[in-house]
Amino acid sequence: SLLPSSTEEQVRSADRAHVFHSWSAQAMIDPLPIASAQGSYFADFAGKRYLDFSSQLVNINIGYQHPMLIAAIQEQAAKLCTVGPPFANDARSEAARLIAGVAPRGLDKVFFTNGGAEANENAVRMARLHTGRHKVFAAYRSYHGATAGAIALTGDPRRWDSEPGMPGIVRYWGPYLYRSAFHAETEAQESERALQHLRNLITVEGPHTVAAILLETVVGTNGILIPPEGYLTGVRALCDEFGIVMIADEVMAGFGRCGEWFAVDHWKVTPDLITFAKGVNSGYIPLGGVIIAEAIAATFETRAFPGGLTYSGHPLACASAVASINIFKDEGIIDNARMLGKDVIGSALHALAERHPSIGEVRGIGTFWALELVRDRDTREPLVPYNATGTAAAPMTRFASACKERGLWPFIHFNRTHIVPPCTTTSDEISEGIAILDEALIVADQYYTG
Ligand code: PLP
């Protein structure tokens, strides 16, 4: 083999010596060396297996090491590893055809990127040029990526150190009944008031200056916030009324995560642009993109689109997307994710909430769930403060350790744990993970004061 086989200690020491990790103080981390992975599990060098309830960064929708996906990548690698964007390529053409085929009707063209941030950057550029306007509405409690524009669009603390960012961003509150910005008490009120708030902002900003409203169809890292009935339809109607481009960021919510091809399918709403990445090929090769409605594609029929990437539509990445979409269809993976949400995960989490006072709310859809952990169910005081680090984050860190000791890899963000396993996870595996959560939540309950 051309690749060296290393011991755990070699991996760890070379990592510490030479790898610069994202979002981290380099001296404060100790990344776990991973030796292998299969299906819903990965394993360390000691052979300890972890059931992955975080799908890495919520991207391994198809599970680890799917043999047919690996075979497709190998086949494409042997045929043609790389060719640039100015040429046509069969893997790229087929990936675009398949993606347009599962997208809402009327979104028929695909611009490929290497990931989610670049997808959002290019979607915003398209919206601005299409409308000739410059403002972009972006939500608090959102994540859109870490490049200059995408981090500026982001509505969470990861933006703070990159400010001031891209000009022209107008921040708004999306719906989140459990911690309502609108003093709402019902889903209907939350939806209506969030829409009125958007309308008011459009009015005072000047509708003729607003290019796009960007939203995560279901907000991911910032809480698995499911839009209340009527909200997405209402945003669509506002965009139509004022000539604004609706951009749905489905980087995390798309490709099966919500038990649909795209989360918007659940509410039967058609955005003008959909951004995707992650689940499109489960990150076996980096890939993302923008799916484009006819009217916006038409803008660039005779006028050049001023944007591109050396690896836009990379053949290896596109071949893996082709294989992944076909495997999703053949193996009923979308149906499995929908079934898990309806029949398995939701009921199991609600049962946990009956035993653990620290669970303030259970919410989710498909394989996209959150437990909101609190110190008091009445005041809803979060188990750890917003953006807590160090000792302030100890209750969540201890909860995470309790999961890991027992062989479950959790997704943790602030005071929440998200239950976001691969869409291919079996009901038995979910039960195994829930049993571990049941034990680990005893740690969270120790901080309950309500
Ligand atoms: N948009 C959403 C909703 C995401 O969750 C993410 C990544 O977590 C991104 C965009 C950025 O994607 P990438 O990390 O591939 O640039």
Which of 249, 176, 252, 181 shows the shortest CA–CA distance to 212? 249
Kindly state whether residues 142 and 234 are assigned to the same domain.
yes
Kindly state whether residues 191 and 277 are assigned to the same domain.
yes
Report the atom number in ligand 1 closest to the C-alpha of 58.
8
Instruction: Note whether residue 1 is domain-resident.
Output: no
Please, which residues bridge with residue 138 across strands? 171
Q: How far apart are CA 437 and CA 358, in angstroms?
A: 12
Mutate to test the pocket of ligand 1, among 58, 251, 411 (most ligand atoms within 8 A of CB): 251
Instruction: Note whether residue 441 is domain-resident.
Output: yes
What pLDDT, on the 0 to 100 scale, is given for residue 2? 81
Kindly state whether residues 34 and 75 are assigned to the same domain.
no
For ligand 1, whether the C-beta of 265 sits within 6 Å is no
Neighbours of 279 (CB within 10 A): 29
Report the atom number in ligand 1 closest to the C-alpha of 286.
15
Instruction: Note whether residue 361 is domain-resident.
Output: yes
Our count of domains for the chain comes to: 2
Kindly state whether residues 109 and 239 are assigned to the same domain.
yes
Q: How far apart are CA 379 and CA 386, in angstroms?
A: 15
Please, which residues bridge with residue 281 across strands? none
Q: Answer yes or no: are the C-beta atoms of 286 and 317 closer than 8 Å.
A: yes
Structure tokens at 75: 């086949």
For ligand 1, whether the C-beta of 57 sits within 6 Å is yes
Instruction: Note whether residue 3 is domain-resident.
Output: no
CATH number for the domain spanning 23: value is 3.90.1150.10
Which of 274, 277, 275, 186 shows the shortest CA–CA distance to 231? 186
Q: How far apart are CA 306 and CA 129, in angstroms?
A: 9
For ligand 1, whether the C-beta of 277 sits within 6 Å is yes
Kindly state whether residues 325 and 342 are assigned to the same domain.
no
- CB burial class (10 A; 0-12, 13-18, 19+) of residue 71? exposed
**Helices marked H in 289-425:** 294-299, 315-331, 333-339, 346-355, 394-405
Ligand 1 centre to CA of 248 (Å) is 12
Q: Angle at CA 371, nearest 5°, toward 51 and 65?
A: 25
User: How does strand 288-293 pair with strand 273-276?
Assistant: antiparallel
For ligand 1, whether the C-beta of 191 sits within 6 Å is no
Which of 368, 445, 375 shows the shortest CA–CA distance to 411? 368
Ligand 1 centre to CA of 145 (Å) is 5
Kindly state whether residues 46 and 96 are assigned to the same domain.
no
Sheet of 273-276, strand order: 107-113, 288-293, 273-276, 245-249, 210-216, 135-139, 169-172
Kindly state whether residues 226 and 314 are assigned to the same domain.
yes
Instruction: Note whether residue 76 is domain-resident.
Output: yes
What pLDDT, on the 0 to 100 scale, is given for residue 187? 98
Picking from 279, 306, 331, the residue at the C-terminal end of a domain is 331
Which of 108, 420, 439 shows the shortest CA–CA distance to 291? 108
Which residue CA neighbors atom 10 of ligand 1 most closely? 144
For ligand 1, whether the C-beta of 283 sits within 6 Å is no
Kindly state whether residues 42 and 109 are assigned to the same domain.
no
Tell me how far CA of residue 1 lies from CA of 4, 5, 15, 141, in angstroms.
7, 9, 21, 46
Q: How far apart are CA 87 and CA 315, in angstroms?
A: 11
Ligand 1 centre to CA of 391 (Å) is 28
Ligand 1 centre to CA of 149 (Å) is 13
Residue 181's domain comprises: 68-331
The amino acid present at 367, given as its one-letter code, is T
Which of 125, 109, 145, 116 shows the shortest CA–CA distance to 245? 125
Instruction: Note whether residue 2 is domain-resident.
Output: no
Report the atom number in ligand 1 closest to the C-alpha of 278.
15
Picking from 280, 308, 331, the residue at the C-terminal end of a domain is 331
For ligand 1, whether the C-beta of 156 sits within 6 Å is no
Report the atom number in ligand 1 closest to the C-alpha of 147.
16
Kindly state whether residues 299 and 258 are assigned to the same domain.
yes
Report the atom number in ligand 1 closest to the C-alpha of 145.
11
Mutate to test the pocket of ligand 1, among 252, 258, 275, 309 (most ligand atoms within 8 A of CB): 252
Q: Answer yes or no: are the C-beta atoms of 290 and 277 closer than 8 Å.
A: no
Q: How far apart are CA 396 and CA 373, in angstroms?
A: 9
Which residue CA neighbors atom 12 of ligand 1 most closely? 116
Instruction: Note whether residue 124 is domain-resident.
Output: yes
Ligand 1 centre to CA of 376 (Å) is 32
For ligand 1, whether the C-beta of 220 sits within 6 Å is yes
For ligand 1, whether the C-beta of 262 sits within 6 Å is no
What pLDDT, on the 0 to 100 scale, is given for residue 115? 98
Picking from 331, 348, 375, the residue at the C-terminal end of a domain is 331
The amino acid present at 368, given as its one-letter code, is F
ipTM rounded to 2 decimals: 0.99
Kindly state whether residues 187 and 77 are assigned to the same domain.
yes
Ligand 1 centre to CA of 421 (Å) is 17
For ligand 1, whether the C-beta of 274 sits within 6 Å is no
Which of 228, 138, 115 shows the shortest CA–CA distance to 180? 228
Kindly state whether residues 155 and 23 are assigned to the same domain.
no
381: left (phi over 0), alpha (psi -120 to 50) or beta: beta
Which of 162, 172, 185, 163 shows the shortest CA–CA distance to 235? 172
Name every residue whose Cβ is closer than 8 Å to that of residue 144 and which is 6 or more positions away in sequence. 116, 117, 120, 138, 150, 151, 153, 154, 214, 216, 249, 251
pLDDT tens over the chain, length 450 residues? 788 789 999 999 999 999 999 999 999 999 999 999 999 999 999 999 999 999 999 999 999 999 999 999 999 999 999 999 999 999 999 999 999 999 999 999 999 999 999 999 999 999 999 999 999 999 999 999 999 999 999 999 999 999 999 999 999 999 999 999 999 999 999 999 999 999 999 999 999 999 999 999 999 999 999 999 999 999 999 999 999 999 999 999 999 999 999 999 999 999 999 999 999 999 999 999 999 999 999 999 999 999 999 999 999 999 999 999 999 999 999 999 999 999 999 999 999 999 999 999 999 999 999 999 999 999 999 999 999 998 999 999 999 999 999 999 999 999 999 999 999 999 999 999 999 999 999 999 999 999
Q: How far apart are CA 117 and CA 151, in angstroms?
A: 8
Name every residue whose Cβ is closer than 8 Å to that of residue 160 and which is 6 or more positions away in sequence. none
Cis bond leading into 164, ω under 30°? yes
For ligand 1, whether the C-beta of 216 sits within 6 Å is yes
Which residue CA neighbors atom 1 of ligand 1 most closely? 144
CATH number for the domain spanning 164: value is 3.40.640.10
Kindly state whether residues 191 and 308 are assigned to the same domain.
yes
Instruction: Note whether residue 127 is domain-resident.
Output: yes
For ligand 1, whether the C-beta of 116 sits within 6 Å is yes
Quick: pLDDT tens for 339-351.
999 999 999 999 9
